[in-house]
């Protein structure tokens, strides 16, 4: 993998306001949900905030397999990270993603029991651009970044 490809992947992740997060339903079907990107620190770990009582959290508790997809429709570029999702309710994780205005969803603030963080840890990366479709491990991305 060359530096140009690494830079394209990093750029997609850093410039996306929305990520498409996939879980697996109880019937074994993939289910996709658009989620706001609130942090961009790491290629391996992706964090999202949501309601503890949500359908998605219930699905991840039963089956942690997940994927996170970022795309730039205009440039016809996309990157699909595949890995596992963990539900975090510790104060540090919740503080990290807390934003002004979240009170309308979580009236008790950052301490609200219905507020949690989804911590996705990627294992593989699939990059699409033009006729290119390349899959590699996250370790390869980190080692070349």
| Per-domain boundaries in the chain | 3-144
Give percent of the chain with pLDDT exceeding 90: 78
144 pLDDT above the threshold of 70: no
Measure the CA–CA gap between 59 and 122, rounded to whole angstroms. Answer: 18
What average pLDDT score do residues 28-52 get?
94
CATH number of 3-144: 2.30.110.10
Instruction: Render pLDDT for 84-122 as a digit per residue (tens, 0 to 9).
Output: 999 999 999 999 999 999 999 999 999 999 999 999 999
145 pLDDT above the threshold of 60: no
For residue 41, the model assigns a pLDDT of 80
Name the pairing type of β-strands 45-51 and 30-36: unpaired
CA end-to-end span of the chain: 10
At a CB cut-off of 8 Å and minimum separation 6, what does 62 contact? 26
Please indicate whether residue 42 or residue 108 has the higher confidence score (pLDDT): 108
């Amino acid at each position: 993998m060359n530096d140009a490809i690494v830079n394209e992947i990093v750029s997609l992740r850093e410039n996306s306001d929305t990520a498409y997060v996939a879980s697996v339903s109880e019937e074994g079907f993939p289910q996709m949900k658009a989620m706001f990107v609130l942090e961009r620190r790491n290629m391996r770990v992706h964090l999202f905030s949501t309601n503890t009582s949500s359908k998605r959290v219930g699905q991840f508790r039963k089956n942690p397999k997940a994927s996170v997809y970022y795309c730039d429709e205009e440039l016809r570029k996309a990157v699909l990270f595949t890995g596992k999702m963990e539900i975090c309710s510790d104060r540090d994780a919740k503080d990290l993603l807390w934003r002004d205005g979240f009170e309308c969803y979580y009236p008790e603030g950052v301490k609200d029991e219905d507020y949690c963080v989804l911590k996705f840890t990627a294992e593989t990366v699939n990059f699409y651009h033009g006729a290119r479709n390349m899959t590699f491990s996250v370790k390869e991305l980190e080692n070349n970044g």
